[in-house]
A and B are shown apart, each in its own frame.
Chain A
Amino acid sequence: MGIIAFLVAVPLIAAALLMLFRTDQQRNVITIAAAGATGLASVVFAVQYLFAGYTVFALPQEVSYITTWILTAIDIVLCAVILWSAVRYGNRTALVLGIIQTLGVVWFANMTLPEGAEHMLENPVYLDQLSVIMVLIVGLVGSAICVYALGYMKDFQHHEPEGAPDRRHFFSALMFLFLSAMFLIVLSDNLEWMFTGWEITTVCSFLMIGYTRTPEAIKNSFRQINLNMIGGLAFLGALIIVHLTTLPLSLGALIAATHSMASPIFILPVMLLSVAGLTKAAQMPFHSWLLGAMVAPTPTSALLHSSTMVKAGVFLLVKLAPAYQVYPVASAMVVAIGGITFVLCSFMAITQSNAKRVLAYSTIANLGLIAACSGVGTSEAVWAAIFLIIFHTVSKSVLFLCVGTVEHRIGSRNIEDMDGLFSRLPHLTRFMMLGIMGMFVAPFGMLVSKWATLVSFAETGNVLFLILLAFGSAATFFFWAKWLGKLAGVAQKAENVEGGVHKSEWFSIGFISCLLVGCCVLLPVISQTVVGPYLAGVYGETPQLIGVDNMIIMVAIVVFIAIVLLTPWGRATKKRRVEVYLGGQCTEPDSRRFHGSMGRTMTSTKRNWYMEDVFPEGTLTRVGLIICISVLLMAFAACFIFDFGFLAGGSFMVDREVLLVGPDLLGILIGTVCFAIAAPVAGLLLDGLDRKVSAHMQGRVGPKILQPYYDVRKLFTKEPASVNAVDEAYVTCALIFAIIAGGLFVSGSNLLMCVFLVTLATLFMIIAAYSCRSPYADTGADRECLQVMSYEPMLMIMTVGFFTATQSFDIARLFQLDMPIVTSLLPIFLGLMFVLTIKLRKSPFDLSYSHHAHQEIVKGITTEFSGRTLALVEIMHWCESVLFLMWVGMFFIWDNPISIVVAIVAALAAWFFEVTIDNNFARMKWQNCLGGAWLVALVVGVVNLFYVLITPFI
């Protein structure tokens, strides 16, 4: 108990001290001491209680009573602050909402406080593993951000106009107050106390967003407070209803009550609390406050959007998860809003060039995913939600902090200006790249959690949200990859401007990056010892979503990627440097200036790809608002329309178990070795045959079958030269990942992991191309990103279809089936055939690069690769082609050895079909590629998944 008081008190005291002592020196000392103490205390707290499980702390009822009085007083003070600001800045909405809230608080206090001390909860404070995780997040990441703010705010003040008042003490104090409120939220069982914490965070963030007091900041801060007050009022409404039902004001008691006979009474409080959670978590239709909050100084964004404010919202939703299993309407509401927010905000993030807005949209999207997971409410989904919380916090805070520092170094937060940052801010950019990778690629935690999300949606048969997830993830890939590409560009001569970065900034960014890698490495351990027991405590079962062996492989890959990014490994510094290819005479490679026709010197410019016409922000926002508001209204209306039997009738989703039948680590290793030897050979023969067959189709003789082998051997003997020192390292990584992906497949391991690793390999190819900063390679890489975005939904749907047909994600399961899966997954098979054209780089969709003689973007993504690097690209292409054809073959496997022959024949037939198409079609525009692939994925996905998931019930 002592340590909990310490956790809440230290930031409070620090906040008070910061208001008193205002010089830089004093602030540094106080902040560092308080952040250190908070961080240390949270670690001690975690060591003490991480494995303790559910623990309650008794408090004398008098003490509780006095605390409640104090907190109620704080509530009223907060209302006063809101009202005062509303009057001062003349915001009517805030005034009205503030008055309602004040009346509500007073009325509620009038109900509860006169009842006296004996009605207070005996155990108002509790903790379980989830609370401990949240304490660690707030204590470590939150404190690190406070330290970061020291250096950042120095620069910030410097950039302010002359004569601007120095209110940095106030800013720092608010940050600490925020931490204190967060501890209060995650540790109190008493809903009244939690409400106070809730309101403190609302008002603190209001003040932080309005910190600069520019008209824009004021406007956005009022938007924030108005939207959050709706959530606050919902929370208050829930409190009042719970109190009227004479249930103690305890979160634990409420959730327990939802599983009792009296459950129908509690649907309304649960719905209201969900609305409160959704508001805090910035879900549509309340999402605009988070976008507006980006005007605030960056530490605010980092604190609000990665570790604290929004996490309080999803924390509440995760806590309510067991209740969603009872109330299908509440569950549907949360899942629908979360899922739609995820997909729409991922689309909108594509159109943004402001780095902070990209981060904001991706934050909203990921929170949507977390909300949807808690809404599903099964133990698997909650597993995913908790890991999403952890990994989102660490990755996103690194990104926010990096963007903030970069903004001060280069004077812009526009992604276009981050071109070539790899050379200008070498260390910072690497951390940023790590953060971005942490957000969206396997094997980083975020993707593992997304994987778990996919599994839990598949298990509950939630078709619509599987589809939303598939498309949203594809968009996620696109906007992160193109940003990553901008960062990765290596300028040949660049000035290092990293000198002015403050020590406090380095410390925070480095510390949280270590946390990021640490969390990824420790993922299996965290799952086994913390999240597992938590779920066992709540649900009585521990989900087994992902085999431990797969997790170990992922950990190894994380370490590998961290080494590639952060150390000089694989840098070919001795190679001859050549200039980028600009079609003519290059005069200055860094600025891409070249001597063009008519004797003019021209500059080639290249912007990121925003696709505003495909994903218009305004329209998507309107669509989202309309859908989400209707969902909210319909859900509340449903509470009054339907009878209690339905409303509290329990989830109508089916729960399926994932069978883990994959091989162990040794098996995967053997598979990888086999694939590494056999696949290039098979791939090279196929490639040779491809050229031979194509030649015959065109009425020629064509080259020898072994021609691709000669090509690659020749490339290995060429002089080593490249545009920069890193591209070969990236391509080597890509090849390694492609081989591991193939190894997983042939050893019979997880299909989903195989798909993710193929994507990872492609990502490394894309980064390698972007790193050259050549207009042709960049365009090729952009198109490659587009291709990934086009086919990714289909592949996701394929894996889910695989799961629904086999009850497992493991390829080995195929040999236990009575019937090949093509019998039930025919539409998905046809969809795969469609995207196979993209994956095999065949016309009509060979946008990014092809083997054809002429291509309008020189050689697309491979333009700047030469010699050995190009040979590795070829080998990777062989391996991938073999792997993709095996995906085709897997549809024809059942428990009969003959099926292998059938599968090989089918794969070869598919290959021949693709070659025929290749020779008979012209290349299409990218719009057709994206539109076609998405339409096919949508149609076959919906049709096939519905068919497979619904038939068992007919």
Chain B
Amino acid sequence: MSYSSKSPWLIHYDGSSCNGCDIEVLDSMMPLYDIERFGIINTGNPKHADIFLITGAINHQNVNVVKHIYDQMLEPKVVVACGICACTGGVFKDAYNVIGGADKAIPVDVYAPGCAVRPETIIDAVLKAVKILDEKAAKMGASEKNR
């Protein structure tokens, strides 16, 4: 039995978003949606987190920061790109300073499109991410046994 899916802790990072998606992310943490039902906690600390929520596109300023936060998270970990900008770069895709979606910096596991992304989509994406988290945990456990 895996416990990863029962206690997914989040860290939220705002790339270069217009803040629309950020407000929706915070919205999903409100009592109305009550994501703590699923054991989800917003930790704000990569060392405690299992799920990395990114909003906004990746640009030259933040690409290393995103990589750094990802590095500091402990395995097993998953990345959820929230909103169309984090998925592909969105309307800013062709801007001179934008590199693209979150997957230009780090491996992304779940894409949650939308402009802005709806709270229901976010919750759905996180719950999908949780399943991937379980798979990764199982893989980790197996490789540990083989070692």
Contacts and interface: CB of A to CB of B under 8 A. Distances in A.
Interface string B31-42: 100101111011
Given A578-B47, A719-B74, A719-B140, A854 B4 contact: no
Interface in A668-709: 691, 695, 698-704, 707
Contacts of B39: 703-704, 707, 710-711
B3 A710 contact: yes
A853 B48 contact: no
A717 B76 CA distance: 9
Nearest 10 CB-CB pairings of A with B: A710-B6, A719-B75, A713-B3, A700-B34, A866-B47, A714-B3, A711-B7, A714-B7, A585-B68, A710-B7
B16 to A, nearest CB: 12
Interface in B14-72: 29, 31, 34, 36-39, 41-48, 50, 61, 64-65, 67-68, 71-72
A702 B37 contact: yes
B6 A579 contact: no
Contact of A866 (B34, B74, B141): B74
B4 A695 contact: no
B56 to A, nearest CB: 15
Contacts of B141: 717
B75 A718 contact: yes
A700 B31 contact: yes
Contacts of A862: 48
Nearest to A704: B39
Interface residues of B, number: 35
Contacts of B67: 585
Given A710-B39, A717-B141, A581 B45 contact: yes
A347 B90 CA distance: 59
A864 B67 CA distance: 18
Contacts of B2: 717
Interface of B: 2-4, 6-7, 9, 29, 31, 34, 36-39, 41-48, 50, 61, 64-65, 67-68, 71-72, 74-76, 137, 140-141
29 contacts: A578-B47, A578-B71, A581-B47, A595-B64, A700-B36, A701-B37, A702-B36, A702-B37, A703-B36, A704-B39, A707-B39, A710-B7, A711-B9, A713-B6, A717-B2, A717-B4, A718-B76, A719-B75, A719-B76, A719-B140, A853-B29, A858-B44, A859-B44, A863-B45, A864-B47, A866-B47, A866-B48, A867-B74, A870-B48
Given A597-B61, A707-B39, A859-B43, 20 more contacts: A578-B72, A581-B45, A595-B65, A702-B34, A703-B37, A703-B38, A704-B39, A707-B6, A710-B39, A711-B7, A711-B39, A713-B7, A717-B2, A718-B74, A719-B74, A853-B41, A853-B43, A853-B44, A859-B45, A863-B47
A897 interface: no
Contacts of B31: 698-700
Nearest to B44: A858
Contacts of A718: 74-76
A65 to B, nearest CB: 78
Contacts of A584: 65, 68
Interface string A72-85: 00000000000000
B47 A579 contact: no
Interface of A: 578-579, 581, 584-586, 595, 597, 599, 691, 695, 698-704, 707, 710-711, 713-714, 717-719, 721, 853-855, 858-859, 862-867, 870
Contacts of A853: 29, 41-44
A943 to B, nearest CB: 42
Nearest to B68: A585
B108 to A, nearest CB: 19
A288 B26 CA distance: 58
Contacts of A701: 34, 37
B30 to A, nearest CB: 9
A719 B7 CA distance: 15
Contact of B74 (A581, A711, A721, A858): A721
A865 B47 contact: yes
Nearest to B33: A700
Contacts of A855: 44
A695 B6 contact: no
Nearest to B41: A853
A363 B138 CA distance: 58
Contacts of A865: 47
Most A Cβ at <10 Å: residue of B6, B50, B64, B137: B6
B34 A579 contact: no
A710 B71 CA distance: 24
Nearest to B10: A853
Contact of B36 (A695, A714, A866): A695
A864 B72 CA distance: 10
A586 B48 contact: no
Contacts of B7: 707, 710-711, 713-714
Contacts of B71: 578
Most A Cβ at <10 Å: residue of B46, B47, B137, B141: B47
Contacts of A711: 7, 9, 39
A858 B34 contact: no
Contacts of B42: 853-854
A574 to B, nearest CB: 12
A855 B74 CA distance: 21
A897 B3 CA distance: 41
Contact of B3 (A599, A700, A717, A854): A717
A723 to B, nearest CB: 9
Contacts of B76: 718-719
Contacts of A585: 64-65, 67-68
B141 to A, nearest CB: 7
A714 B41 CA distance: 13
Contacts of B140: 717, 719
A781 to B, nearest CB: 15
A866 B45 CA distance: 10
A768 to B, nearest CB: 14
B38 to A, nearest CB: 8
A584 B65 CA distance: 6
